[in-house]
A and B are shown apart, each in its own frame.
Chain A
Amino acid sequence: MSLVSIHQLHKHFGDNHVLKGIDLNVDEGQVIALIGRSGSGKSTLLRTINGLECIDAGEITVDGAKIQAGAKDMRPLRLKVGMVFQQFNLFPHLSVGENVMLAPKIVKKTDPAQAQELAEQMLAKVGLSEKFDAFPGELSGGQQQRVAIARALAMQPKVMLCDEITSALDPELVSEVLSVVKQLANEGMTLVMVTHEMRFAREVGDKLVFMHQGRVHEEGPPEALFNAPSTPELAAFIGAIDQA
């Protein structure tokens, strides 16, 4: 059975029907790249998987934790799912180490010594061990995003969601973040990412999901989709990117 399974998911924002019956399965260790124009619903879909958006119909199951319409308690889902945001969203009043340790300590009640060790491990993984006592404001965007990845990893999630995590970065800082993501993928982490980095999606992704007008329009192995899009919408989308 898939690690993440989404079944007939619907979501409205007022009169705007943004997700129109999404079905999607993600296997353990798989790397999924969600692509599509802005407004296609890809970010909203990603956010529902972490309970940041409630759903109007359908269900989401992640490693046995299930969410349906009207669900109030998102905690079981969020304990399985980590998320990295476009704007990093580090906690500015806490040091880098405290950012990473906070949730393990207060949500999982990990004892402080263990949390410290965990944070050191995670920061080492993203190559920022020496920034343990720095504050977010003192770091570059790329470094902040790597801390955000370490913070999410410290909760030992089953799946990580990445919401356009390089879009807010200066061009020269993109690759340091992508190489951390690539390393995670190589270590077998299950990843679902919304991205505009097509080359990266092609290189690291196991499956490409093209969203269009609130539906999964086309999905499959990246090479196949890029080389031979079977719908005119995907062909147009790829064409627009190539020109850019």
Chain B
Amino acid sequence: MAYEFEFAPVLEYTDLLLKGAFFTIALTAVGAVFGIGLGIIGAVCRAWRLQPFAALFAVYVELIRNTPFLVQLFFIFFGLPSLGIHIGEWEAAVLAMVINLGAYSTEIIRAGIASVPKGQLEAAASLAMNRYESFRYVVLRPALQTVWPALTSQVIIVMLGSAVCSQIATEELTFAANFIQSRNFRAFETYFITTAIYFAIAIMIRQLMLAIGKRYISGRLS
């Protein structure tokens, strides 16, 4: 007998799915803002060789990029309490996402800074700007503009990766899906719809980042 797909038992829980989707988006938004912020700081430290920060960021970037997000999450959530640092599942999820995205953005933004032509720095210097002024007004925006597509992809990767936060009981989209399929016994349908929601969120983030890039990074209103 062929299996009959039934999506109605999943759609009964639409409110739970939407709530989960909202928290996945919220997690991603907080992670993206602070992660990219951390990346800018890290990139500047490395580009300007501000020791010891440049060396610390170099180690941090390698440690994070060469270990799985899930293990980072477990280390933060299960490991830190044994050092006396107690944090909840939301804090752990946000922290893990910021730390993870921060490492990737450090490398991405550093490449962006390196791509700004030397002549731009010379022009800024010739106008008597100091290093901070020239970074803030001349380097930062073109650098971000160059790497904006790469940052966008990375934010999406981190958003998709956040599905594993369900493992520490952070009540985001996958957590909602796990709960629903344990009630309706329709695992395939539940995860199928959840996957579609993730896909929609990914498309939404791409469009949003594109709009942010156009509006605030390239500085053109057209």
Contacts and interface: CB of A to CB of B under 8 A. Distances in A.
Interface of A: 50-52, 74-75, 78-79, 81-83, 85, 87, 89-95, 102-103, 106-107, 135, 148, 151-152, 155
Q: Lowest 8 CB-CB distances: which A-B pairs, in order?
A: A89-B123, A103-B127, A83-B126, A78-B128, A89-B119, A93-B141, A107-B128, A79-B128
A87 B126 CA distance: 14
Contacts of A91: 120, 123, 137-138, 142
Which secondary structure dominates chain B's binding surface?
A: helix
Contacts of B219: 93-95
20 contacts: A51-B125, A52-B125, A74-B125, A75-B128, A78-B125, A78-B128, A81-B126, A85-B122, A85-B123, A89-B117, A89-B119, A90-B123, A93-B142, A93-B219, A94-B219, A106-B133, A106-B137, A107-B127, A107-B128, A107-B133
A155 B122 contact: no
A22 to B, nearest CB: 20
Interface in B125-143: 125-130, 133, 137-138, 141-142
Nearest to A86: B119
Given A89-B119, A102-B137, A78 B142 contact: no
Interface string B138-155: 100110010000000000
Interface in B96-141: 117, 119-120, 122-123, 125-130, 133, 137-138, 141
B220 A135 contact: yes
Which secondary structure dominates chain A's binding surface?
A: loop
A87 B119 contact: yes
A103 B184 CA distance: 65
Interface residues of B, number: 20
Contacts of B122: 52, 83, 85, 89
A75 B133 CA distance: 12
Contacts of B126: 50, 52, 78, 81-83, 85, 152
B128 A103 contact: yes
Nearest to B122: A52
B218 interface: yes
A226 to B, nearest CB: 31
Interface in B202-222: 218-220
Given A91-B138, A92-B142, A93-B218, A106 B129 contact: yes
Given A85-B119, A93-B218, A135-B220, A155 B127 contact: yes
Nearest to B128: A78
B120 A89 contact: yes
Contacts of A106: 129, 133, 137
A38 to B, nearest CB: 18
Given A106-B129, A106-B133, A107-B133, A93 B123 contact: no
Given A93-B218, A93-B219, A107 B129 contact: yes
A59 to B, nearest CB: 19
Contacts of A155: 127-128
A182 B120 CA distance: 26
Most A-side CB within 10 Å, residue of B127, B133, B219:
B127
A93 B130 contact: no
B148 to A, nearest CB: 12
Contacts of A82: 126
Nearest to A103: B127
Given A82-B126, A83-B126, A107-B127, 14 more contacts: A75-B128, A81-B126, A89-B117, A90-B123, A91-B138, A92-B142, A93-B141, A94-B219, A95-B219, A102-B127, A103-B127, A107-B129, A135-B220, A155-B127
